[in-house]
Structure 1
Amino acid sequence: MLRSLISRSALATGAAAAVAAGGAGVADLRRDAWGHGLVDVARAVLSAGARRVRVDGEAELSLLRAEGLDATCTEDPDLDPHLLYGLPDADGSLDGAPVMRVVGRVLSTKDIAAGGGVSYGYIHRAPEDSRLALVTGGYAQGVVRALGSRASVEIDGVVHPIVGRIAMDVCVVDIGTADVALGAEATYFGGRGPMRTGASEWARITGMGVEELVAVVGQRTERSWEA
């Protein structure tokens, strides 16, 4: 299972920064708050001083109003979403901390000999003897197929390349000689480690916007909260 972990502290900090940066005070919470969770993000940004939040339509409007939260589906948002959600720019620059951290788990590991094929179609062959990890997270959860053999994940603070094609629910990572435990977290982007700006790498590879990528992943994964 691929998970989106939403940081309460980073969200509070990002909401305060977005409000302080100025504007009429309307935050963009369309697409389930860009995959971060509509109701909780609305509470955070309104508590930080936003005037109201922009949502997709009447269903979301009714949901928030039932919670006593002020929303609109017509006003244009003007608070900086990169500050609110802690998203990197296309060049990888980042103000603040990412609110979303996307993590999978190591399901298994195995050795591979030089020349051995990886994933279906064998578009990648190991250039030398190495070790592979099977990690949760595939295109069904928003890990775009174009990322195969081009993007990386972080395991135990070390960045390792994804190799071969992305499958529906898993991908394969070349961990070299690293001693990786079963169940270890594999961070695709976000957090405080080397993949904190990983969403910008995804954007560069896929040609999609960072905003679109986090919204897709956030809506297709199991979401939970962390400090």
Structure 2
Amino acid sequence: MTSETAEHPPSAGATARRTAPTATISASALQANVALLSRTGAITALVGALTHDAWGHGAAVVDEAAQGAAGGSLVADGPLRKTSPWQAAAASLFGLPGSEGRPVLRLTGAVLSVKRLFAGEGVSYGYTHHAPTDTHVALVTGGYAQGVVRTLGNHVDIAIGGVLHRIVGRVAMDVCVVDVGDALVRRGDEAVFFGDPAAGEPSLAAWATVTGLTPREIVTVVGQRAYRIVGT
């Protein structure tokens, strides 16, 4: 898959190709979660939440939000005791599935190319997926090197243009293949791996279910391996 078909030209204003997906940290969601924890008093359990680069969210960014909204730093002075209250408060701070907080980390990739796939043809390493009917597949930035776990192939959906499409075949090191059917998908289009379910985006919960990893394990790897930026 190295070129687009004529029926799927690059989207208008398509940006330069990036080999790594983007992990966007929502500053507003982070501040809202800090404020929530401050109101409930749970913020006191969060000292030390900056370990592992604040679970991949960026220690400096998270501590700045805590100092701005709660008036205190999350830097631990002594040994960190990872108690149940600490785990629950940290999950809410980052808006992980099952918590009261808003999701802070949103992982997106970009469509590199789109091509025709005929019934019976296989995709990716080992051909673990064969097209049941004629379709189109998109090559999307984001692979296991950036935390898009290999076992997600054939099991989870990503959103392109607000429509869910299944990742098919084995996830490669830096890219994955997505069955987009007859949808108008073009090079440069944004592909949302996971984000805020309230906004109609795929949930991190599905990743945890399929991989057997905890949400905190997934976001820690994704946040440290993807191209991380701070958004609104």
TM-score norm. by structure 2 comes to 0.83
**Shift in CA distance, 73/104, structure 1 to aligned 2, threshold 3 Å:** farther
> Which position in structure 2 is the counterpart of 1:47?
68
Q: Tell me, yes or no, if structure 1 residue 170 matches structure 2 residue 175.
A: yes
**CA shift at 1:145, angstroms?**
0.8
**CA shift at 1:48, angstroms?**
2.1
Aligned Cα RMSD in Å? 1.7
Q: 2:40 aligns with which of 6, 10, 21?
A: 21
**CA shift at 1:73, angstroms?**
4.3
Q: 1:31 aligns with which of 42, 52, 62?
A: 52
Q: Distance in 2 between matches of 1:178 and 1:11?
A: 34
Q: 1:117 aligns with which of 105, 117, 122?
A: 122
TM-score norm. by structure 1 comes to 0.85
CA displacement 1:85-142 (0-9 Å, x = unmatched): 11112xxxx5342111000000000011111101111110001111000000000001
> Which position in structure 2 is the counterpart of 1:135?
140
AA matched with 1:211: R
- For structure 2, the residue ranges without an aligned partner over 5 or more in a row are 1-19
**Shift in CA distance, 214/24, structure 1 to aligned 2, threshold 3 Å:** closer
**CA shift at 1:24, angstroms?**
6.4
2:95, 2:103 within 8 Å by CA — same for their partners in 1? yes
Q: 2:213 aligns with which of 208, 222, 225?
A: 208
Q: Tell me, yes or no, if structure 1 residue 106 matches structure 2 residue 72.
A: no
- For structure 1, the residue ranges without an aligned partner over 5 or more in a row are 54-69
Q: Distance in 2 between matches of 1:24 and 1:127?
A: 51
**CA shift at 1:50, angstroms?**
6.0
**Shift in CA distance, 174/73, structure 1 to aligned 2, threshold 3 Å:** farther
1:149, 1:163 within 8 Å by CA — same for their partners in 2? yes
AA matched with 1:9: S
AA matched with 1:36: H
CA displacement 1:164-194 (0-9 Å, x = unmatched): 0000000000001100121111111114533
Q: 1:9 aligns with which of 28, 36, 43?
A: 28
**Shift in CA distance, 136/17, structure 1 to aligned 2, threshold 3 Å:** same
> Which position in structure 1 is the counterpart of 2:91?
82
1:18, 1:81 within 8 Å by CA — same for their partners in 2? no
The runs of at least 4 consecutive aligned structure 1 residues that moved more than 6 Å come to: none
